Amino acid sequence: MSDHIHFRDKHLIPIWEKILRGERLSFEDGVRMFHTADLLSLGKMAHHVQRQRSGDAVYYVLNQKIEPTNICVLACKFCDFATKKGTPKAYEMTIHDILHKLTPDIHEVHITGGLHPDWEWKWYLDMLRQIRRHFPHVDIKAFTAVEIDFFHKKFKLPIEEVLRQLQEAGLRTMPGGGAEVFSERVRKRLFSSKIGAKTWFEVHKTAHRLGIPTNSTILYGHIETIEERVEHMLKLREAQDETGGFLTFIPLAFQPGDTGIKPRHRFTSAIDDLKMIAISRLMLDNFPHIKAYWVMLTEEVASVALNFGADDMDGTVGGEKIAHDAGAITPEKLAKDQLVKIIKDAGKIPVERDVYYNPLRIETDRVIGKIPYLNSIPFYTYLERRQFRILPITPRRMGVLAEKGQIDAGLFSLVDYLRLRESLEQLPLCIATRDQVKSVMLFSKHGWKDLHGKRIGIVDDTATSVKLLKVLLEKKYGVQAQFVRMHAGVNNYEAFDAVLLIGDEALRYRKIGSAAYDLVYDLATEWYEWQKLPFVFAVWAMKRSLPVETKTSLANILAESLTRGEEDFVSISRAHAVRLGWTSEEAVEYLEGFNYRLGEREREAIQVFERMLTEVEPVALRNS
């Protein structure tokens, strides 16, 4: 199993074999990887995992960092940014100052700063409300767990109420700062007045329950031990198993500045930084993204990190001061063109994203969209890319990019194909199901007839499934419900009367179960019992404008890849099944329930569904 990587450190081979089997790495594995001198093999392992999760995509965002004040009630030894009121370097921004720094071009504003002793709670809420009012398309990522705990204590509000009010004011996600290292030894020596792991996790888990995704960090390269680094990751992995609410992990290299802390070296080495990125990707198997934060790593190291497990470069980060006050040597603002160049030079697809990692724009061509669910792996496992790169993307978002002409081919959600068919050429390949799908599920507190007027949560991923649900509700059962879009992966589902989940998220949720929902409906079963037809959820298509030879080559490649995948359900699904907590037998049985080729029955089913959808929602195929 180690033939694909030439290991100089043979102790890495058992770790690599565990990765290929989809098994979770242990504390001992993490420590072993930190001690290895075989950096290239470590990077190759991490790059393998990165490509399984993110394909060729590397994400960035047009963002602005706002630090409203450096006045802080704390005095952490590692911080060279904060000061006390009245000192020469102290500053306080007004809400007007903050708004003046923002522009309509950015997609994210990232707000963190000192813990000001005098500002009122209303000031923070007004700041978010004013940002949302003047820049409604800008997502707000704000306040570390340290700041949330400070608000909780200063304003005598429960943590949940603090977060709820901030969310109502405009908060969308939270940064991961304040984690530092989850070690009481380190906390007592460097930031004894600051929150520890217990409070940090309480804040983030509460945010996840409210539907607020968050990031996570580690500050490394000071006095922490290798073992403490690994333990930090394991605690994050355990929390992610529980809530699923973390978007990314961000290793932050310590910047000593004039803090008085004397690390072994003034700055971490490139080797240490790359090891940290690679090991993070390998240990945090349930985290969607790993960030190479170029502000602290330097552009050069961040670029290499994109082949060592990282799939996110953060963004333009205008206005960042905390790291630079501590001695970070990178340019304070990296232009979009330079970010795109760094990503392309690493052989990756530059993907401009929003705060939730939804792709907004891709900066290259020859891109194949990949639905990142277990049900689509027969197409992609043996796909020979040749002139194409792979972009994992949810069905709805693939349709958005296709409408912009930025996806050359892909497994498109059926409603998006129907809406865009003038520009797309259909291939005789699909994802269809006979009488059940198991991964398009409605979890409900009510029977079908009693869902009239009720609120149904819809994950942002879905395009076709939500239209199928609408058809079933209105045409089969004669009821209408309210659909509310939400972010997948955070545990606020129970707030709805019912929730529609698709793909791997539906498989996970179905397996763990929920006391909140007594009823579980398989939408494919509902359709089959009603129409006695299969249901086609997605079809393969490619741009009509592609050269004829390219289209012919791609069609042949896809057909060959599918044939090989169908002959090998056991091995192609093994690692994916482990991540879902499934046995190999369960995964194979699931895949065998699909039909991957368009036949007469599938084409008839498409026609019937299209007619019904047009009756229920006449504009659906113009604006899904």
Averaged pLDDT for residues 221-236: 95
pLDDT of residue 2: 42
Q: Does any domain span residue 623?
A: no
300-308: average pLDDT: 90
The range of the structural domain enclosing residue 497 comes to 440-531
The rounded distance, in Å, linking the Cα atoms of 531 and 527 is 6
- DSSP codes joined into one string, 95-125: HHHHHHT--TT-SEEEE-----SS--HHHHH
Domain membership of residue 3 (yes or no) is no
Residues 461 and 418 in one domain: no
Distance CA(249)–CA(465), nearest Å, equals: 31
Same domain, 323 and 409: no
pLDDT recorded at residue 81: 58
Q: Cα dist. 591→62, 261, 306, 608 in Å? A: 39, 55, 32, 25
| Buried b or exposed e, range 511-547, using 16+ CB within 10 angstroms | eeeeeebeeebbbbbbbbeeeebbbbbbbbbbbeebe
Gap between the Cα atoms of 382 and 578, Å rounded: 20
Please indicate whether residue 480 or residue 325 has the higher confidence score (pLDDT).
Answer: 480
CB 239 within 8 A of CB 246: yes
Residues 102 and 140 in one domain: yes
CB 64 within 8 A of CB 109: yes
Q: Which helix (H) or strand (E) holds 536?
A: strand 535-543
* Residues recorded for the chain: 624
What three-state secondary structure class fits 4? coil
Which of the given ranges, 82-86, 408-412, 512-516, has the highest pLDDT on average?
408-412
8-state DSSP, 83: B
Q: Domain check: are 207 and 130 in the same one?
A: yes
Q: Which residues contact 534 (CB under 8 A, 6 or more apart)?
A: 432, 433, 434, 435, 524, 528, 595, 601, 602, 605
Average pLDDT, the chain: 89
On whether residue 5 sits in a domain, the answer given is no
Provide mean pLDDT across the span 260-289: 84
The number of distinct structural domains making up the chain is: 3
Going by C-alpha positions, the residue among 48, 43, 53, 58 that lies closest to residue 7 is: 43
Q: How far is 92 from 111, CA to CA, in rounded Å?
A: 14
Q: Are residues 413 and 471 in the same domain?
A: no
Which of 496, 531, 566 represents a domain boundary (last residue)?
A: 531
445, 519 Cβ separation under 8 angstroms: yes
Helices (H), 458-617: 464-471, 503-512, 523-531, 548-566, 569-580, 584-591, 600-616
**Which residue's structure tokens are 């690493």?**
346
In a domain, 390, yes or no: yes
- Residues 351, 60 contacting (CB under 8 angstroms): yes
In a domain, 343, yes or no: yes
Q: Are residues 356 and 425 in the same domain?
A: no
DSSP per-residue letters across 367-382: EEEE--SGGGHHHHTT
Average pLDDT over residues 563-571: 93
User: Is 87 contained in some domain?
Assistant: yes
Cα four-point dihedral sign 596, 601, 605, 607: positive
* CATH for 265: 3.20.20.70
pLDDT at 329: 42
CB-based burial label for 262 (10 Å; 0-12, 13-18, 19+) = exposed
Among 313, 333, 361, the domain boundary falls at: 361
Q: How many CB atoms lie within 10 A of CB 467?
A: 22
Query: Average of pLDDT values for 582-595?
Result: 93
Q: Would you say residue 322 has pLDDT above 70? A: no
Residue 125 belongs to some domain of the structure? yes
545 plus 585 within the same structural domain: yes
For the domain that residue 591 is a member of, what is the CATH number? 3.40.190.10
Q: C-alpha distances in angstroms, 481 versus 7, 363, 484?
A: 57, 39, 10
Residues 555 and 466 grouped into a single domain: no
Helix, strand, or coil here: 299?
A: helix
Lowest pLDDT segment from 157-171, 183-197, 493-507: 183-197
Check whether residue 104 and residue 208 sit in a common domain.
yes
Q: What is the DSSP letter of 623?
A: -
Distances in whole angstroms, Cα of residue 435 to Cα of each of 438, 518, 522, 602: 10, 22, 9, 12
10 Å Cβ neighbour count for 550?
A: 17
Q: Which of 483, 480, 477 is closest to 456 using CA atoms?
A: 483
Question: In the predicted model, what is the mean pLDDT of residues 188-213?
Answer: 90
Highest mean pLDDT among 189-203, 245-259, 363-377, 470-484: 470-484
pLDDT for 265 beyond 60: no
Paired with 352 in beta bridges are: 60, 361
β partners of residue 499: 443, 457
Comparison of pLDDT for 454 and 493, the residue scoring more: 454
Are 28 and 138 within one domain? yes
- Output b/e per residue, 412-444; b: 16+ Cβ within 10 A: bbbbbbbbbeeebebbebbbbbeebbbbbbbbb
Q: What is the pLDDT of residues 78-126, one digit of tens each?
A: 555 567 777 888 889 999 999 999 988 889 999 998 888 889 999 999 9
Q: Are residues 342 and 405 in the same domain?
A: no
151 inside domain:
yes
Domain boundary among 514, 531, 548: 531
Per residue in 458-493, pLDDT tens?
Answer: 988 888 999 999 999 999 999 999 999 887 666 678
Cα–Cα distance measured from residue 78 to residue 231, given in angstroms and rounded to the nearest whole number? 21
- For residues 224 and 289, membership in a common domain is answered with yes
Helix (H) or strand (E) holding 400: helix 395-403
